[in-house]
Structure 1
Amino acid sequence: MTVTQRRGRRIMMTRAELDAFLAGRRTCRVATAGRDGRPHVGPLWYVWDGRALWLYSLVRSRRWADLRRDPRVAVVVDDGEEYEELRGAELAGTVTVVGEAPRRGVACPELVAPERLFAEKYFGSTAMPHDGRHAWLRLTPDAVVSWDFRKLGKG
């Protein structure tokens, strides 16, 4: 993951801050490119494992169709209401489908950790429910930009 951020270094999150932020938020916004080139943005639940953002998407969705055709994506996770509270991160790169699609629970070693994280975060469980409608996309970002406007008041 490349974190190159010339402008705004003062408000950039450290690696530890970024990891804690991404692990602590619940919803991201995923931007894809449609067949006609138009952007499509939609909310999605995710987990961060310290290296990759794991997106659990409906396979019968515009997002899934867009990403199967063009796997490039930008994802924003943000927080805050007032200007001086705003913080977030944009992660960009190419997604990879991991496991079967749709996911029915066939053993997949790569999914053990993300599914445990997801089940704990969203269901308060250690067991991931599989509904046969969702599948996993892994985004190992090529670029990350972050901001934390709360740092503006810190000299």
Structure 2
Amino acid sequence: MSVAPQRRGRRIMMTPGELDAFLAAQRTCRVATVSAGGAPHVSALWFAWDGGALWLYSVVRSRRWAQLGRDPRAAVVVDSGEEYGELRGAELAGRVEFVGEVPRTGGPCPELVAVEPLFARKYFGIDEMPHDGRHAWARLVPERIVSWDFRKLGSP
């Protein structure tokens, strides 16, 4: 993964280790896609981060999935914090690609061997991914990552 360096906000940007820990711990992201007419669409989704890619587990009969099929460009925001001094997050942008069968039924897929147990443990507390025949995987390898951690500013 070659990610463009963050130019602004270097003082509050997360280190690679901080970013990995943050993305591994957070549970919900917001995915922005583009309709055929150019209108933006944002939706919440569960995800897994493997240190190099953001794995999105989406219902295949969703507007998000259809839009990604037409135009694979996406931006994803993961953030947390309530008060100004607690705000932290990351925006990851790039192109997604669909991985595995659509919808996913659990057939062999070497690319999903590591990510499915990671996701299953994170969200279901089990080691094996339950497949419902309605969801499938999209992988976003970020071309650009911007991060922020306002806790680094300290108290005023």
Give me the TM-score of the superposition, normalised by structure 1. Answer: 0.98
Q: Which position in structure 2 is the counterpart of 1:7?
A: 8
1:85 and 2:86 equivalent? Answer: yes
Cα shift at 1:117: 0.3
Shift of 1:36: 1.1
Local SS of the residue matching 1:135: strand
Q: Is the 8 A contact 1:91 1:143 kept in 2?
A: yes
**Structure 2 CA distance, aligned partners of 1:2 and 1:52?**
11
| Aligned match of 1:53 | 54
Which 5+ residue runs of structure 1 have no aligned equivalent?
none
Structure with bigger helix share is: 1
For structure 2, the residue ranges without an aligned partner over 5 or more in a row are none
* Structure 1 residue ranges, 4+ long, deviating more than 4 angstroms after superposition: none
8 A Cα contact 2:34 2:71, kept in partner: yes
Give the structure-2-normalised TM-score. 0.97
Separation (CA, whole Å) in 1 of partners of 2:58 and 2:12: 31
Q: Deviations over 1:84-127 (max 9, x none)?
A: 10000000000010000000011101101110100000010001
Counterpart code for 1:108: C
Report the 3-state secondary structure (helix = DSSP H, G, I; strand = E; otherwise coil) of the residue aligned with 1:150. helix
The answer as to 2:120 corresponding to 1:103 is: no
- The residue identity in structure 2 corresponding to 1:17 is E
